């Protein structure tokens, strides 16, 4: 059997558990469907719609492909997203409700942003950090009322940590997972579809705004949010285990007029938008300043919160020129054949000259609009400046020449403007640095 070295030349001295950089390639296995992992209320409907592969996200089975690779695969799904409208099963975004008289104070203590500035019926992208400043989760936070918040989780189970923070009932709140499952409606025709579903109110929902009402007699909360940079919404279905079929079929019925397609979450589009994926582009050992999330750590937030001391110390060290991390996340444009599927490994980044890997790619895809491969990657601090020339060791299926690394260059993110820009993009448009 071949040896798969874990690339000791890549400095990971700032981590206690190094990223597994062994290049094992595509290792075909059959996923076991069992009762240890949750099936979402939409799972059978996703399978009915053609889901042929899945992974586990938040201990829930997560659809990751509808169009087979031999029929164009994810790039066909991409076309539906950027030209029409798409439906995604994202019930893996488990909903943790914090409710009670101290809800605002509790949420303010566990997120890095200022929760007191979030109005009722508004949402925000937020991060939660541990005492060392590592990113535990980056959910969308929905504020339903003065005393009720929902954490719409990314891929790490936050409920137990939130409950642990409140051991001893320091805050008068109830923390529980609720039977609410979202679906995403994404693409340029999403506004037309949502108008058909909820009427003219759809056109009045601002970015990160919320609307509560009914679709097909089902109680829902709708947000103008998404994972793409395209125009899009999320429909949060209450009592989802009872009403999943009714809502799903109503959305699909209304979508016929708009060429609706059921697809997997479009990671190729979120990469182009510079949207991070927890577990790929960051994790519990990543500080916000490493991944352009410094804007999530305001200098002026009053009071204490979890991780504040570590984050302030890290920012001071960064500004003094001695950051406590070895690598930063950057955007890359790179050569090779079009990367048209999920990467099975963290592909290795090499300097412009030399054969020792120095970093690794986290999220690579081909951009049809830019007509080039794009990627997020961790590279050494000294090689993170815009314009730096590097190389990437792609597998032979994507390499221009088998066995030869392709050229790459550090570029700014997002790679292309978004229809619905996120906070990082708006800061960039204002000439501000989201990293700090």
pLDDT, averaged across the chain: 95
Residue with the larger pLDDT of the pair 15 and 430: 15
Mean pLDDT throughout 396-409? Answer: 97
Separation of alpha carbons 133 and 323, rounded Å:
13
Pick the CATH number of 274-429 from 2.60.120.10, 3.40.50.720, 3.40.50.300, 3.30.1360.120: 3.30.1360.120
Better pLDDT: 178 or 5: 178
Which region among 5-9, 103-107, 196-200 has the lowest average model confidence (pLDDT)?
5-9
- Position 6 scores a pLDDT of 87
CATH superfamily of 180-258: Probable tRNA modification gtpase trme; domain 1 (3.30.1360.120)
Intrachain domains 180-258 and 274-429 with the same fold: yes
Give the side-chain half-sphere CA count within 13 A for 350. Answer: 13
Query: Sorting pLDDT into bands at 50, 70 and 90, what band is 1?
Result: very low
Q: At what angle do helices 240-255 and 190-198 cross, to 10 degrees?
A: 120
- Structure tokens, 245: 């079929």
Mean pLDDT of all residues in 153-175 = 95
What is the value of pTM for the model shown? Answer: 0.95
**Domain extent listing, the chain:** 180-258, 274-429
Token code pair at residue 339: 């990367």
pLDDT range class, residue 33, cuts 50, 70, 90? very high
């Amino acid at each position: 059997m071949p040896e798969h070295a874990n690339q000791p030349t890549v400095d990971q001295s700032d981590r206690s558990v190094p990223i597994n950089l062994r290049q094992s390639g595509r290792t075909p296995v059959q996923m076991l469907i069992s009762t240890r992992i949750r099936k979402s209320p939409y799972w059978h409907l996703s399978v009915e719609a053609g889901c042929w592969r899945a992974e586990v996200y938040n201990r829930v089975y997560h659809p990751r492909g509808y169009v087979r690779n031999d029929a164009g695969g994810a790039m066909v799904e991409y076309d539906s997203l950027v030209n029409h409208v798409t439906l995604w099963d994202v019930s893996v975004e488990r909903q943790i409700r914090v409710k009670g008289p101290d809800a605002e104070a509790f949420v303010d203590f566990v997120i890095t942003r200022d929760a007191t500035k979030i109005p009722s019926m508004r949402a925000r992208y937020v991060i939660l950090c541990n005492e060392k400043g590592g990113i535990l989760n980056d959910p969308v936070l929905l504020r339903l009322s003065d005393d009720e918040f929902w954490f719409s989780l990314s891929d790490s189970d936050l409920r137990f940590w939130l409950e642990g923070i409140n051991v001893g009932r320091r805050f008068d709140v109830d923390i529980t997972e609720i039977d609410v499952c979202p679906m995403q409606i994404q693409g340029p025709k999403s506004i037309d579809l949502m108008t058909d579903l909820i009427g003219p109110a759809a056109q009045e929902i601002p970015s990160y705004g919320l609307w509560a009402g009914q679709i097909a007699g089902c109680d829902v909360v709708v947000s103008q949010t998404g994972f793409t940079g395209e125009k899009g919404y999320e429909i949060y279905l209450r009592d989802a285990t009872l009403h999943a079929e009714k809502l799903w079929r109503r959305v699909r019925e209304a979508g016929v007029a708009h060429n609706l397609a059921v697809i997997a979450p479009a990671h190729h589009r979120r990469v182009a938008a510079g949207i991070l994926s927890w577990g790929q582009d960051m994790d519990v050992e990543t500080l916000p300043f490493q991944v352009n999330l410094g804007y999530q750590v305001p200098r002026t937030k009053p009071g204490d919160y979890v991780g504040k001391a570590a984050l302030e110390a890290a920012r001071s060290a960064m500004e003094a020129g001695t950051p406590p991390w070895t690598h930063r996340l950057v955007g890359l444009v790179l050569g090779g054949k079009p990367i048209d599927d999920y990467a099975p490994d963290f592909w290795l980044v090499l300097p412009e000259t030399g054969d020792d890997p120095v970093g690794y790619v986290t999220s690579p895809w081909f951009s049809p609009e830019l007509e080039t491969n794009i990627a997020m990657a961790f590279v050494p601090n000294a090689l993170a400046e815009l314009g730096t020339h590097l190389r990437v060791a792609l597998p032979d299926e994507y390499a221009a020449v088998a066995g030869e690394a392709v050229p790459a260059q550090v570029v700014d993110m997002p790679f292309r403007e978004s229809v619905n820009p996120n906070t990082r993009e708006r800061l960039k448009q204002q000439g501000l640095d989201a990293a700090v």
